[in-house]
Amino acid sequence: MNDSILSVYWNNFISFDFLIFILAAVNVYFLVHSLRQSQSIAAILYPKGYLPGGWESYGDMKQHYDEVMNLKGEQTLIEHRRRMNLSYTIFENITTIFPLLGILGTVISLIPMVQSIGTIEQSLFFSALTSTFWGIVFAIIFKGINGYLEAGIGEAEKNIQIFLDRYSTMVKQP
């Protein structure tokens, strides 16, 4: 590549494209946070076995059941679910913003081109294309990751509900 193209890349990166990269880093944070909360829930629900299976499934897990199947354990599980859902919702929303940022960068770069119709600068057009490119690239990456994450979170939600239903039934029994 010649130096002028590299300078255009650099100028684009330090302007609008940098915002896309910052947002990608923020999105990675929420991705990791969602995964960790999901794993914390799994550690509570699947301790060397399958907790939603009930007392009959693993009689030797009494200590774990005693720690989890009380008001404090229920509150811990609900708090993990709340944090997981919050971070996942933010992750999912940021992921859907990437194409919009790419289009916004294109529009921002094309406006000065329209003002100077007779003397179109290639750098403005190139700037429009790079912001669109990065927006689409990050949307594709995070949308792919979202498929995996969404399945795990859905499974955790379902298992939490099974646990809470069984726990509430056990609490009601004399």
Structure tokens at 21: 């990269």
What's the domain count of the chain? 1
Percent of the chain past pLDDT 70, that is, above it, reads 76
Structure tokens at 163: 């646990």
- Secondary structure of 97-123 as H, E, C letters: HHHHHHHHHHHHHHHHHHHCHHHCCHH
* E strand or H helix at 167: helix 122-172
User: Backbone phi, then psi, for 56, in 5-degree steps?
Assistant: -70, -30
Q: Which residues contact 99 (CB under 8 A, 6 or more apart)?
A: 135, 136, 139
- Supply the pLDDT for residue 122: 64
Q: Give the domain range for residue 116.
A: 3-172
Measured in Å, how far apart are the chain's first and last C-alpha atoms? Answer: 77
The tens digit of pLDDT for each residue in 86-145 reads 898 889 888 888 888 878 777 777 766 666 666 666 666 667 677 777 778 888 888 888
Percent of the chain past pLDDT 90, that is, above it, reads 9
